[in-house]
């Protein structure tokens, strides 16, 4: 799409300047927020299963740590590039400030396709990346976490490699770890749970009845599945979902648990029994009341925004709406819960994990859920 030719970081700075004008921010503040503090680009040689060595490019960007250590995920995806990582680090700085956690912005990533790599290759890649950036991270410096293409297992490998390098166990260096090595309860569903709380508040504020509301979700990975389940339990109809391979549509609604089981078995939601086949982007323009973009950046653009029929958009992905499309949506009267709030549940519970690691606490599911609800609705 033509809009995606524009630098993602330039798009992010457009939103900064727009917000700065509303807030009357001084020019020196805008200037300070416009550039990352540190950019790391590393080469990671990995012995592949066929015996050959392949060199991957990894990134870590730290953006404005005035409020505390850098904080943000690690993404494994073929599209990872410096422009994307810089943008995501900027958004993390804003997001962390919005929900009041004491962090600056951080983001990392490796240009790779994890779906085409074995577990052994992924482990070697992760350990190589951890070794390459180890001296630039730590619980008081930069605290990574998962993102697209990564999970608790990858965080565990990362933590283990870091511990070997520094010669001691430092659980607070990374969050969303497996429970067995210091992870927090509730972290696996935190992004979806936080988005759910934000959706409840938005629906109440904008008088949108949730029982019977039609929900369309672009993306059906770790962040989308929980909110689909929670909304379904409230009586919403999940009418459309998609993943990178395609989508499924049923105006009568689909069971999100059955969808998840089908995707786990077939690696796609396409072909879900009783559904009509969609493309990966189609859920954006499906007839619905609530649209949840939960995939990648720049999905709602000036090319497809006129087809958006939702009354409310909950941005569970980072930067899913371009500035041009955002302006058109506001002119149409569409209500939006922006990404810096809607998907902040993950980093909020990561903060809880960081606190528990440092203080020796171990909170229950109920404690974590209540603290998350307070953070997302205050």
- CATH number for the domain spanning 101: value is 3.40.50.10860
Walking along the chain (378 residues) 10 residues at a time, the average pLDDT comes out as 65 87 89 94 98 98 96 97 96 94 97 97 99 97 95 96 96 94 93 95 95 95 92 96 94 95 94 93 94 92 94 94 92 95 95 96 96 92
Token pair in block for residue 114: 């994890």
Q: DSSP secondary-structure letter at 204? A: H
Q: Which of 109, 139, 171 is the last residue of a domain?
A: 171
Token pair in block for residue 127: 């350990």
Query: Is 371 one of the catalytic residues?
Result: no
In a domain, 120, yes or no: yes
Phi/psi zone of residue 264: left (φ > 0), alpha (ψ -120 to 50 degrees), beta?
Answer: alpha
Q: DSSP secondary-structure letter at 139? A: T
In a domain, 362, yes or no: yes
Q: Give CA–CA dist 168/262, Å, rounded.
A: 42
Return all residues near 245 (Cβ < 8 A) that are at least 6 apart: 267, 268, 269, 270, 280
Structurally, the chain folds into a number of domains equal to: 3
Contact by Cβ (8 Å): 64, 104: yes
Looking at the fold, whether 138 and 208 belong to one and the same domain comes out as no
Looking at the fold, whether 13 and 118 belong to one and the same domain comes out as yes
What is the extent of the structural domain holding 371? 345-377
Give the alpha-carbon dihedral of 343, 214, 208, 283, to 10 degrees. 50
Considering only CA atoms, which of 270, 291, 288, 290 is closest in space to residue 279?
270
Contact by Cβ (8 Å): 360, 178: no
Contact by Cβ (8 Å): 262, 269: yes
CB atoms < 10 A from the CB of 79, how many?
12
Q: What Rg value do the Cα atoms of the chain yield, rounded? A: 20
In a domain, 328, yes or no: yes
At 5 the pLDDT is: 60
Q: Give CA–CA dist 244/268, Å, rounded.
A: 8
Active-site residue (options: 86, 107, 237, 263): 107
At 298 the pLDDT is: 87
Contact by Cβ (8 Å): 349, 326: no
Token pair in block for residue 5: 């030719």
Cα 32 vs. chain centroid, distance in angstroms? 24
In a domain, 182, yes or no: no
Q: Give CA–CA dist 272/195, Å, rounded.
A: 25
CB atoms < 10 A from the CB of 218, how many?
28
What distances in angstroms separate CA 26 from CA 18, 87, 340, one per listed residue?
A: 13, 22, 22
In a domain, 180, yes or no: no
Q: Is 103 exposed, middle or buried (0-12, 13-18, 19+ CB in 10 A)?
A: buried
Looking at the fold, whether 149 and 163 belong to one and the same domain comes out as yes
At 2 the pLDDT is: 39
CB atoms < 10 A from the CB of 204, how many?
11
Looking at the fold, whether 253 and 305 belong to one and the same domain comes out as yes
In a domain, 281, yes or no: yes
At 297 the pLDDT is: 85
Return all residues near 234 (Cβ < 8 A) that are at least 6 apart: 210, 211
In a domain, 197, yes or no: yes
Token pair in block for residue 340: 């810096």
Looking at the fold, whether 158 and 293 belong to one and the same domain comes out as no
Looking at the fold, whether 330 and 349 belong to one and the same domain comes out as no
Helix segments in the chain, DSSP class H: 8-23, 27-33, 82-99, 119-133, 152-166, 190-205, 224-233, 256-266, 323-332, 339-342, 345-359, 365-377
Q: DSSP secondary-structure letter at 242? A: E
Which phi and psi (to 5°) does residue 138 adopt? 155, 165
pTM, two decimal places = 0.90
Q: Give CA–CA dist 11/90, Å, rounded.
A: 11
Looking at the fold, whether 10 and 149 belong to one and the same domain comes out as yes
Contact by Cβ (8 Å): 130, 168: no
Looking at the fold, whether 288 and 324 belong to one and the same domain comes out as yes
């Amino acid at each position: 799409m033509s809009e995606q030719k524009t630098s993602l970081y330039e798009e992010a700075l457009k939103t900064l300047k727009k917000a700065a004008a509303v807030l009357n921010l001084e020019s020196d503040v805008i200037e300070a927020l416009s550039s990352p503090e540190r950019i790391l680009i590393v080469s990671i040689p990995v012995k592949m299963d066929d015996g050959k060595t392949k060199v991957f490019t990894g990134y870590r960007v730290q953006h404005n740590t005035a409020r505390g250590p850098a904080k943000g995920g690690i993404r494994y995806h073929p599209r990872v590039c410096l422009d994307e990582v810089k943008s995501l680090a900027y958004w993390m700085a804003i997001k962390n400030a919005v929900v009041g956690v004491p962090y600056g912005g951080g983001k990392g990533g490796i240009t790779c396709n994890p779906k085409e790599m074995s577990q052994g290759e992924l482990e070697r890649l992760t350990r190589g990346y951890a070794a390459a950036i180890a001296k630039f991270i730590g619980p008081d410096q930069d605290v990574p976490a998962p993102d697209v293409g990564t999970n608790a297992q990858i965080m565990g490998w990362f933590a283990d490699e870091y511990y070997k390098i520094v010669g001691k166990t430092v659980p607070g260096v990374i969050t969303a770890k497996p429970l067995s090595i210091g992870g927090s309860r509730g972290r696996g569903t935190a992004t979806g749970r936080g988005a759910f709380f934000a959706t409840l508040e938005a629906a109440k504020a904008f008088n949108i009845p949730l029982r019977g509301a039609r929900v369309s979700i672009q993306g059906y990975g770790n962040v989308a599945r929980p909110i689909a389940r929670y909304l379904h339990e409230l009586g919403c109809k999940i009418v459309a979902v998609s993943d990178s391979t395609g989508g499924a549509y049923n105006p009568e609604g689909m069971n999100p648990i059955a969808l998840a089981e089908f995707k786990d078995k077939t690696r796609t939601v396409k072909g879900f029994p009783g559904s009509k086949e969609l493309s990966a982007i189609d859920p954006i323009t499906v007839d619905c009341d609530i649209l949840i973009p939960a995939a990648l950046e720049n999905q709602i653009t000036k090319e497809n925004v006129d087809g958006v029929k939702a009354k409310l958009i909950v941005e569970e992905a980072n930067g899913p709406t371009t500035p041009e499309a955002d302006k058109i949506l506001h002119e149409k009267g569409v209500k939006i819960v922006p990404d810096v709030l809607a998907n902040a549940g993950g980093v909020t519970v990561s903060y809880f994990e960081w606190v528990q690691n440092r203080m020796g606490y171990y909170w229950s599911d109920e404690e974590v859920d209540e603290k998350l609800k307070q953070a997302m609705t205050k």
